[in-house]
Amino acid sequence: MRMSQLFLRTLRDAPTDADVDSLRLLSRAGYVRKVAAGFYSWLPLGSRVLRNVERIVREEMDAAGAQEVLLPIAQPLELWQQSGREQLYGPLMFRISDRKDAGYCLAPTAEELITATVRGEYSSYRDLPVNLYQIQWKYRDELRPRFGLLRSREFLMKDAYSFDTDAANLRKSYQLMYDAYHKVFERCALNFRPVRAQSGDIGGDVNHEFMAVANIGEDDFVWCKSCDYAANVEAAVRRSPEPVAPGSQPMSKIATPDKPGINAVAEHLGCAASELLKCLAFETEAGAIGLALVPGDREVNEYALKVALGGVAYEFLDDAAFARFPRLPKGYIGAHNQHIEIAVADPSVLARTSWVTGANEVDHHVTDAVVGRDFQPTVVAPIVVVASGDVCPECDGELSVDRGIEVGHVFQIGTKYSESLGATFTDENGEAHPMVMGCYGIGISRVVAAIVEEHHDEAGICWPAEISPYAVHLIALTGKGATSEEVRQAAVAIYDGLNSAGVSVVYDDRDVSPGVKFADADLLGVPVQLVVGAKGLARGVVERKLRKTGSRDELAIDAVLGQYIGEGAKSRG
């Protein structure tokens, strides 16, 4: 493609609302343009990059035995009502009606529709297993779209769904997808880690997020420096400290006037925050009052607390709720409060001989509160948010907390959708059973943004070879002198030769200054730049620059094609 013909306008400055590097650079380089909050147009260069990611995903999905389908974006709301997820998605779902007032939604995901599709075609154990995938646009009405392509309202997604006869076969299908995801993200040159995760609205007991490491990532994840353990912060646990023998000192009350907070009490008593017992009051959906008990220097993992409660929904008490429970003095609640119905304690609560905690009386705390003597937890479960430096639950290694971008997610969802939507099969004895499902998603457009977040510098994007819109960026320094036509002819010969050899090339034939051409080449980020100039032409060479490293060398003009292909950097863009 000649740049004189390419639909492209680079920008000197990024849009004022470009809040992350990926959006800033993709906008400046003319890959995308914002249409409205959370909606973006993909211009020719961006479309080529998007297709390259799609190609990698398709190749790995096909190699793993999945078959591609294409489902409509508009889905009948009736399916979502049958599964019970219409209300769950609530305002996140774009809803539309046709002229007959039939309800539809713009697909935020496709579990319901794919289940109905398989239900209509397959009904025997002989039909299974089957794994179907699509690459299709998805829509979620995010309240505050941000981070450009990382949190948008319209995004391109690969979603796959496996259907098996039992849990054992589901695990086999799941492993195939898990392995395929590794290959996809390795080919996309992402620094990623698969982490154990919560299921969220999709459902299922076993699932993993694939996190691309990035400072601007929206999600924290935990990983071990010594083994393969990794989990997002919602699912992460640490090794529980060993219980210790309780103390023998009697519990005693002390005055802590106007000091309802952990740090204020610790400073007043001259002790560490870790010696105080944090007691967070909550109310379950059934109206029971409970406490979450953790050391004063740790935070409660709200998802882990819900798991410890057996999945029961709850809310921490706010000021209005505290007003309804005068026997729970805010800031001074103690673990020994007689009005508490449920007490969930982290195992670390059993690892101290005694605690400082609230006295259940305003302006007072108690010292030497002993677990088992002065207060008794109803449930002991890991409910603290894991922090860097904690001990790995699977080895003696040290855990670290980093930020990442979720680029993929795989789930073993079981029979949640097949039961509600009636997707059954008959076994060898003619008995009907619900199909056992897995769900596997990759955010195609989000992968593009994650790649830019990892592969860029101050000058612009540095595309990995398989993702780049072109393999070579050819620059002709024609100038105004007598040799300008010779330079142009040499550049055209190289351009034609590379194209004939199947090497994708963008040729900067514009009548602009060398400085503009070099700046745009770095901004666009094609892996290899070839520069044809009068001085090099006189010596029979062109200059080659590798965008990622900035290293330069010279190639003989008559050997450019062979040497370039020998580098193995050919793009299929």
Cα distances from 49 to residues 309, 311, 333, 545, in angstroms, run 46, 42, 57, 21
Q: Give the model's pLDDT for residue 197.
A: 80
> What does the pLDDT look like over 118-150, one tens digit per residue?
999 999 999 999 999 999 999 999 988 989 999
> What does the pLDDT look like over 369-406, one tens digit per residue?
999 999 999 999 999 999 999 999 999 899 999 999 99
Is residue 138 within 8 A of residue 23, CB to CB? The reply is no
Question: What's this model's pTM, rounded to 2 decimal places?
Answer: 0.85
Q: Nearest 10 degrees: CA dihedral of 492, 494, 495, 501?
A: 140
Q: Give the model's pLDDT for residue 199.
A: 59
What residues are paired with 134 via a beta bridge? 159
Q: Give the model's pLDDT for residue 202.
A: 55
Is residue 15 within 8 A of residue 27, CB to CB? The reply is yes
Domain boundaries, the chain: 44-237+401-452, 252-380, 470-566
> Is 44-237+401-452's fold the same as 470-566's?
no
Please give the Cα distance from 381 to 193 (Å, whole number): 26
Q: What is the 3-state secondary structure (H, E, C) of 249-262?
A: CCCEEEECCCCCCH
Query: Encoding tokens for residue 58?
Result: 């398709």
Burial 316-342 (b: 16+ CB within 10 A, else e): ebeeebeeeeeebbbbbbbbbbeebeb
CATH 3.40.1380.20 fits 470-566, yes or no: no
Q: Give the model's pLDDT for residue 558.
A: 86
Q: Give the model's pLDDT for residue 521.
A: 98
Cα distances from 320 to residues 169, 244, 300, 316, 506, in angstroms, run 50, 38, 21, 11, 64
Q: Give the model's pLDDT for residue 220.
A: 87
Please give the Cα distance from 314 to 285 (Å, whole number): 6
Please give the Cα distance from 25 to 456 (Å, whole number): 9
Q: Give the model's pLDDT for residue 566.
A: 47
Q: Give the model's pLDDT for residue 570.
A: 43
Q: Give the model's pLDDT for residue 206.
A: 84
**Overall fold of domain 44-237+401-452:** BirA Bifunctional Protein; domain 2 (3.30.930)
Q: Give the model's pLDDT for residue 569.
A: 44
Residue range 252-380, CATH number: 3.90.960.10
Cα distances from 43 to residues 79, 201, 374, 510, in angstroms, run 35, 33, 67, 19
What residues are paired with 230 via a beta bridge? 223
Residue 229, amino acid: Y
Q: Give the model's pLDDT for residue 348.
A: 96
What residues are paired with 14 via a beta bridge? none
Please give the Cα distance from 369 to 365 (Å, whole number): 10
Residues of the chain with pLDDT under 50: 566-573
Measured CA angle at 29 (ends 25, 30), to 5 deg: 120
Q: Which residues contact 155 (CB under 8 A, 6 or more apart)?
A: 137, 138, 140, 149, 443, 444, 445, 446
Cα distances from 350 to residues 343, 353, 399, in angstroms, run 13, 8, 22
Q: Which residues contact 552 (CB under 8 A, 6 or more apart)?
A: 543, 544, 545, 546
